[in-house]
Structure 1
Amino acid sequence: MARILKHKIPAASEFTLPLHEGSKLLKLDVVNEKAYIWALEDESKPQRGVKFRMVMTGEEINLEPYMMYIGTFILFNGSFVGHLFVDTSVPMPIYEGI
């Protein structure tokens, strides 16, 4: 049975989140000045580390072609704007966009 689970986005340019195989990313948003991703996940399936990359507005980046844009979030009244990408090089049908 699937549930919608919330995952906190750490303050790091690259990080891995444990998502269940076949999870679907639903939403990227901010709650109380912290960024989160919500995903529809079947907890009976094994977890796999999914890699993410966060970049700030104006930052020079060199993204691999398999990095797919997920969304943008704003913190601290606009003083921090993060753009989140997910690594799609490992096949896992979670990248349908938010």
Structure 2
Amino acid sequence: MARILKHEIPAASEFTLPLYEGSKLLKLDVVNEKAYIWALEDESKPKRGVKFRMVMTGEELNLDPFMVYIGTFILFNGSFVGHLFMDTSVPVAMSIGL
């Protein structure tokens, strides 16, 4: 059975979130000064650690070609702007519907 689940984005430049295989990312947004992603997930599937990378505006970066842009979020009245990328080098049949 599929459900829409919410995952908090930690304050880290690189992190892994446990998502169910085949999940579809639906939205990236901010609630009460915390960033989250919402995903349509089938809880009957196995969980996989999906790697993400977050960079700030103006930060120098060298992204591998398998890093896919997810979205941008703004915190603290614009004093922090983060750009989220997902690692697709290990295929887990994820999709992005943002």
**How does the TM-score come out when normalised to structure 1?**
0.97
1:37 to partner: Cα distance: 0.3
2:65 pairs with 1:70: no
User: Conserved in 2, the CA contact under 8 Å of 1:88 and 1:95?
Assistant: no
* CA–CA separation in structure 1 for the residues paired with 2:96 and 2:62: 23
* CA–CA separation in structure 1 for the residues paired with 2:22 and 2:45: 8
* CA–CA separation in structure 1 for the residues paired with 2:57 and 2:95: 22
1:43-70 Cα deviation digits (max 9, x unpaired): 0111000000000000000000000000
* CA–CA separation in structure 2 for the residues paired with 1:34 and 1:50: 20
* CA–CA separation in structure 2 for the residues paired with 1:19 and 1:78: 29
Give the equivalent residue in structure 1 for 2:25: 25
- Superposition pairs for residues 1-98 of structure 1, below 5 Å? 1-98=1-98
* CA–CA separation in structure 2 for the residues paired with 1:87 and 1:47: 16
Q: SS where residue 92 of structure 1 aligns?
A: coil
User: Conserved in 1, the CA contact under 8 Å of 2:48 and 2:92?
Assistant: no
Question: How many residue pairs were aligned?
Answer: 98
Q: SS where residue 77 of structure 1 aligns?
A: helix
1:97 to partner: Cα distance: 4.1
Runs of 4+ in 1 over 4 A off after TM superposition: none
1:94 to partner: Cα distance: 1.9
Q: Which amino acid aligns with 2:11?
A: A
